[in-house]
Amino acid sequence: MTEELVRTLLANRGVEDENEKEIFLNPDYETGLHDPFLMKDMDKAISRFLDAISKNERIVIFTDYDTDGLPAAAMFHDFFKKIEYENFENYIPHRHGEGFGLNKQAIDTLKKNNAALLLTADCGITNHEEVEHARTLDIDVIITDHHLPRDKAGEVSEDLPKAYAILNPHQKGDEYPFKELCGCGVAFKFLQGVIQKGKEKEIFDIHDGWEKWLLDMVAIATVSDMVPLVGENRVLAHFGLKVLRKSPRPGLMRLFRNLYINQRFLTEDDIGFVIGPRINAASRMDDPVLGFNFLSERDETAALETLKQLNRLNDKRKGVVAGIVKEARKKINRDEIKEIIVAGNPNWQPGVLGLAANTLSKEFERPVFLWGRLGSPIIRGSCRSDGSIHVVEFMQGVEGDVFSDFGGHERAGGFTIHNEKIHTFEEALLRARELVPKYTSEQKDKPVDTTLLLDEVNERTLSAVEQLAPFGMGNPKPIFLFENIKIHDIQFFGKEKNHMTFLFKNNDDKIVSAISFFADKKLTDFKEGERVTLTVHMERNGFRGSREPRLRLVDIRRT
């Protein structure tokens, strides 16, 4: 049954050729990663970087403040420490005080610190003026980024900053075979090439394969940034998780111990629900440097103190988001929910609006746009799609010069609004929605992979499912259907009793559990003894070292 199940799951993901199956099920580090020198400007960028090292020039690594940029920052930090190069610094802009990307004030400060080479990760592709400013100060700029280069109207642009070199697989003329790397992934390809050429030129000596120890950072970024987990990304995430399960980083190790997570069995879910939120809490609620220190610090005492700060910030973030969601719900007319939900408050903190928008989008099954400006004269916002629109393409089509800036991906974006446009913001979005054709996201509809029996919730079935991991965009978790099964019991758990477990019995009278975290209130209407039909994911119960198979509820309906 397990071989047949694997074939079915692969076929549902478009993997049917025998060679493709082998590549998918057995990622290979040597053959699964492309030659970094296929990327445009790679030779030029590496040559300048190694020249800076040879001359002991001041090198600045300028990264974004999120779960893509901060792992990249830690990765470069590890590299410099490995080759014992001291004349460098990591610069991470403050989310609220500086915003996304390069800024002139930061560049001026870096020049005062004798910066000669500035290398970006996960940012820079739209910073024309800032790169030109750096050039006037005799600072060479190497951009490594993965965002689509866009002009001020939101159109994909061929006009790029006049940097010394640009590494971005999306730029015109780039022949790199895989275009969907995250920002940290692009930076990793750069370091792959740097290590290769640096050894050839005897600038430094690193043993073969050392760069694999950086893959834990690449895995965190790749999973967190929600790039498609196919092709080269699947290889990077697969081996990155292997490294993460052995990672000696004291901050991560202590985090896992505190939460009773067995590090040997980490999954992509642990990145998404445990590691990522704490890294992001740093920039959302305080200083992103805390997230960088959490990943890069090698002193156990210092790492523990940083973890405590991140945990406090993460708890505070949860409270702030819950407050925004509660207030936004009051603004929504449930009797007449519009095609796009728009809400805002000058006192809302922009850094957490994406989390609130995501919660509301799932609840109301609509695209959600939220705005705020706490602590800033600029109105900033975040948007999330339920799959009915591509948010970046949608914002591009909004008329009336509403946005002063915007960007993002298919289902998540950020924007700034001209202050005088805020009163007509909702109207402009709704008008644009009427003109935008229906968009179908791969995640909008969630088809069932196959139907199972309760007797098939066992180690054999789960092991078959796990062969396709890691799961994410492009490789969604399998969804299984269970029909006409009887609820044996219902239990509530958690501090606020807002999580639920539905218990069922198989033919051997063994309990099968289906869990729902932050359960919808409508689930409380179900009663013991009712017959229901479930759609679920299958996973392991990792609580306090357990490895038992369990179900994660996607939907439940009375039979």
The reply to whether 383 falls in a domain is yes
Same domain, 511 and 384: no
**pLDDT at residue 442 in the model:** 47
Q: Which helix (H) or strand (E) holds 431?
A: helix 425-435
Picking from 215, 236, 267, the residue at the C-terminal end of a domain is 215
* Biggest distance spanned by C-alpha atoms of the chain: 76
> From CA 365, how far away is CA 389, in angstroms rounded?
12
Q: In the structure, what pLDDT confidence band is assigned to residue 42 with cuts at 50, 70 and 90?
A: very high
Among the listed residues 130, 117, 123, 127, the one whose alpha carbon sits nearest the alpha carbon of residue 159: 127
Same domain, 56 and 109: yes
The reply to whether 296 falls in a domain is no
> From CA 446, how far away is CA 545, in angstroms rounded?
31
The reply to whether 443 falls in a domain is no
pLDDT tens digits for range 409-457: 788 899 999 889 999 999 999 999 988 766 555 444 568 999 999 999 9
3-state secondary structure 29-82: HHHHCCCHHHCCCHHHHHHHHHHHHHCCCEEEEEECCCCCHHHHHHHHHHHHHH
Same domain, 431 and 402: yes
The residue-averaged pLDDT of 358-362 equals: 93
> From CA 175, how far away is CA 159, in angstroms rounded?
18
**pLDDT at residue 153 in the model:** 59
pLDDT tens digits for range 175-222: 999 999 999 999 999 999 999 999 999 999 999 999 999 999 999 999
**pLDDT at residue 333 in the model:** 85
The reply to whether 158 falls in a domain is yes
> From CA 369, how far away is CA 386, in angstroms rounded?
12
- Average pLDDT over the chain reads 93
Q: In the structure, what pLDDT confidence band is assigned to residue 148 with cuts at 50, 70 and 90?
A: confident
Higher-pLDDT residue of 446, 370: 370
pTM of this structure: 0.91
Domain of 105, CATH number, reads 3.90.1640.30
Exposed, middle or buried by CB within 10 Å (0-12, 13-18, 19+), for 80?
middle
Domain count, the chain: 3
The reply to whether 483 falls in a domain is yes
Same domain, 365 and 505: no
Same domain, 206 and 123: yes
Among the listed residues 141, 137, 82, the one whose alpha carbon sits nearest the alpha carbon of residue 113: 137
| 490-497 long-range Cβ contacts below 8 angstroms, 24+ apart | 490/526, 490/527, 490/528
Same domain, 106 and 167: yes
Same domain, 508 and 402: no
| Token reading at 134 | 């750096």
DSSP codes of every residue in 505-542:
E-TTS-EEEEEETT--GGGGG--TT-EEEEEEEEEE--
3-state secondary structure 314-347: HHHHHHHHHHHHHHHHHHCCCCCCCCCEEEECCC
Among the listed residues 549, 532, 552, the one whose alpha carbon sits nearest the alpha carbon of residue 482: 532
Q: Which residues contact 420 (CB under 8 A, 6 or more apart)?
A: none
- Using alpha carbons only, give the angle 57, 60, 66 rounded to the nearest 5 degrees: 165
Higher-pLDDT residue of 265, 157: 265
Least confident window among 98-102, 159-163, 206-210, 505-509: 98-102
Among the listed residues 405, 267, 386, 60, the one whose alpha carbon sits nearest the alpha carbon of residue 395: 405
The residue-averaged pLDDT of 249-274 equals: 95
Picking from 435, 468, 494, the residue at the C-terminal end of a domain is 435
Q: In the structure, what pLDDT confidence band is assigned to residue 158 with cuts at 50, 70 and 90?
A: confident
Same domain, 202 and 71: yes
Count of alpha carbons within 13 angstroms of residue 201, beta-carbon side: 14
Domain of 394, CATH number, reads 3.10.310.30
Q: Which residue range(s) make up the domain with 532? A: 450-558
Same domain, 417 and 489: no
**pLDDT at residue 2 in the model:** 85
Q: Which helix (H) or strand (E) holds 244?
A: helix 231-244
